[in-house]
Amino acid sequence: MRKPKYTREFKEQAVELSYSSDKSVAQLAADLGIATNMLHRWRREYRDGIASNGKRIFPGHGRARDEELKRLRKALHQAEMERDILKKAAAYFAQHAR
């Protein structure tokens, strides 16, 4: 079963409603058709996002993380190639220094 993706607007409205409503978080989550722990997580992300200015609230579905992972893999590949070249160069110079 595929997890539903919720828009940033839906998350923000759900969180704001959870703060302004007289209903409990559990009841509000049930009314919205989402898990209670999900609404608690959204509230925490919302609160943390407001507390640290400049940080995006509800950053998305991992796209930024995937881009960072891709960048890090590319950098690792580059470093491994450079290491291999340096190993070969060291072996060459060690052999010809005798």
The pLDDT tens digits of the residues spanning 8-42 come to 889 989 999 999 999 999 999 999 999 999 999 99
Q: How far apart are CA 79 and CA 76, in angstroms?
A: 5
Q: How far apart are CA 29 and CA 36, in angstroms?
A: 5
Q: pLDDT value at position 23?
A: 93
| 49 band by pLDDT with thresholds 50, 70 and 90 | confident
**What residues contact 30, with CB distance under 8 A and at least 6 apart?**
36
Q: Is residue 62 predicted with pLDDT exceeding 60? A: no
Q: How far apart are CA 69 and CA 77, in angstroms?
A: 12
Rounded to the nearest integer, the mean pLDDT of the chain is 85
Q: What's the mean pLDDT in 67-77?
A: 90
Q: pLDDT value at position 52?
A: 64
More confident residue, 48 or 42: 42
Between CA 34 and CA 38, with CA 37 as vertex, the angle to 5 degrees is: 50
Q: What proportion of the chain, given as a percentage, has pLDDT over 70?
A: 83
Q: How far apart are CA 64 and CA 69, in angstroms?
A: 9
